[in-house]
Amino acid sequence: MAHQSAWVADDAPLKLNEKGRRTGITWAEAQDDTLIAAASRGAGGDNVFYIGDTKEKGLEFIGYCAHFAKFIEGNIADIWEGETEVEYVENGQRVVERLASYTIRFASGYRISALASRPAVIRGLQGVVVIDEAAYHNNVKAVIDACNALLIWGGRIRIISTHNGVLNAFNELVKEIREGKWEYSLHRVTFDDAVANGLYERVCLVKGWKPTPEAKQKWYNKIRATYGTRLDVMRQELDAIPLEGGGTMLPIAWIEACMTSDYKLIQWENPAEDFVDWPKPARQAEMELWLRDNILPLIEKLPAASYGIGGDFALRVDRADYAVGYVGPGMILNVPFIVEFRACPYDQQKQALVFIGKNLPRLSRMVLDAGGNGMVLAQEMRQEFGANRVDELMATDAWYREFSPKFRERFESKTFLIPKHPDVTSDLKQFQMSPTGVWKIPSNVRTTGSDGKNRHADSGIALINLDAAMDGPPREYDYTPAKIPGRTAPAENWRMRMTDDDGDYKDVAWNKGAF
């Protein structure tokens, strides 16, 4: 069929095919691989290694190749069930491993072997490597990453798969290929493409049926109808549209529709490994300079509005993120910037949060993570800005049950406008349905950020806390004049005691006549 011919004719070193089920791509690949293994070196011959997601798939593929081999070599090829020796490097050590395999050997001296799905094993192979149903391998990302090492010695890679959800590494690779980040030749074959290219007629040929337009339509409708009301599953299986399910709260399309390059994720970089050991004045000066260079220019461009801050505290392993936002026209929650710190000392996070809070046009409310060490920072912000403006959040299932649906609704209705950044996208994808029936970030989730370091959906938590901060009317604040016991200070002239930035007491005088 046309889509099979197009796949075989493509001699790109890197090929990927996202497909609907039973569209014949693996069958076509088996024919191509048989020709390659049967050819001499001068004619482009090479070894072929097939890596399926199950042992049974490997045996089936080898059976396809044996079928083609009898036409190429004039006899039925023997299938050897045994072991294949594979050499690779793991943790800096040379490893030689013997793996169970199915193999066809050709007169050319080359072979086709079906091996187990092992990322470390793939790194040790040379030749044509076929990764079939890649999205269903146990360690999808590691399998795909391992393929890239094959290119060093001129290997060729064919990745074939139906989809297995939007969060799957296979879907991520397809997306990145479309964005031009990888030099793969990308093919896409849906069930409808295969039908248009003669799939029904091929089925009739094999089954001995007489093809008619009426029978074809009935057959087509029956295939679609077998999925019942599971339309999302049908689209994934037949139309190569990855499933959004799996308990995922925010589809990628919703997230990306709410992103803009005008808003920023500002990531603080530790100026030195021993920054935490610098003298206090030096740390304060360094942070003050960074805030004035990177944050103050953003704040000075903000419109007059009531602002909220959502914070997720962290010190060492994860990131500390603070999202700043306001509700603008159309009830859209705008997030002009998110400030992110990694391995930032506690005092400097406090310094940054006070700086941002005091320089915003009008701070309405903060919702800050008060778990662990975050409890101290949240309490100090409460003391700094007032209990009516700072919520010390100890998130519970009850809290998520109330606020996660509202958060989700913002994305669905496109009333969120957030920074466009791959780390933000990745963080927001981690909201999942928990066993207790609420959407939240699983405690064991760890992803790799754009800087190669661990993340725990940190900007996602900051954003949901910001949404909670902006939920409801703005929090206004007022003051009550201090009174000295036993007498009332005159309105024209009074004194009070307050602390300065170093925590020392000082007297502040108010004299109406001086103003």
φ, ψ at 326 (rounded to 5°): -145, 155
φ, ψ at 430 (rounded to 5°): -85, -10
Residue 124, pLDDT > 90, answer no
* pTM for the full predicted model: 0.52
Average pLDDT value for residue range 120-133:
82
Most confident range, picked from 105-119, 179-193, 437-451, 468-482: 179-193
Q: How confident is the model at residue 94 (pLDDT cuts 50, 70, 90)?
A: confident
Query: Which residues does residue 115 pair with via DSSP β-bridges, in sequence order?
Result: 51
Provide the 8-state DSSP code for 449: -
Q: Where in the chain is the domain with CATH 3.30.420.240?
A: 252-469
pLDDT at 451 (0 to 100)? 84
As a whole number of angstroms, the distance between CA 403 and CA 41 comes to: 64
Average pLDDT value for residue range 219-236:
86
Q: Where are the beta strands (DSSP E) in 241-362?
A: 259-260, 264-268, 307-312, 319-327, 333-342
Average pLDDT value for residue range 129-141:
85
As a whole number of angstroms, the distance between CA 444 and CA 416 comes to: 27
pLDDT at 499 (0 to 100)? 44
Q: Where in the chain is the domain with CATH 3.40.50.300?
A: 2-239
Cβ neighbors of 415 (< 8 A, separation 6 or more) are: 330, 331, 332, 333, 409
pLDDT at 490 (0 to 100)? 44
Residue 339, pLDDT > 70, answer yes
Q: Hey, what CATH class is 252-469 in? A: alpha beta
**Tens-place pLDDT, residues 342-367:** 889 999 999 999 999 999 999 999 99
Q: How confident is the model at residue 228 (pLDDT cuts 50, 70, 90)?
A: confident
Tell me the pairing of strands 447-448 and 454-455.
antiparallel
pLDDT at 90 (0 to 100)? 65
Dihedral, CA atoms, 384, 389, 395, 398, nearest 10 degrees?
A: 160
Q: How many of the other CB atoms lie within 10 Å of CB of 255?
A: 20
pLDDT at 482 (0 to 100)? 55
More confident residue, 430 or 167: 430
Q: Hey, what CATH class is 2-239 in? A: alpha beta
* Beta strands across the sheet bearing 14-19: 80-90, 93-105, 111-115, 48-51, 128-132, 156-161, 14-19, 185-189
pLDDT at 350 (0 to 100)? 96
Cβ neighbors of 385 (< 8 A, separation 6 or more) are: 357, 363, 366
Average pLDDT value for residue range 307-321:
90
Q: What percent of the chain has pLDDT over 90?
A: 54
**Tens-place pLDDT, residues 67-82:** 999 888 766 557 777 7
As a whole number of angstroms, the distance between CA 256 and CA 321 comes to: 20
Query: Which residues does residue 159 pair with via DSSP β-bridges, in sequence order?
Result: 16, 131
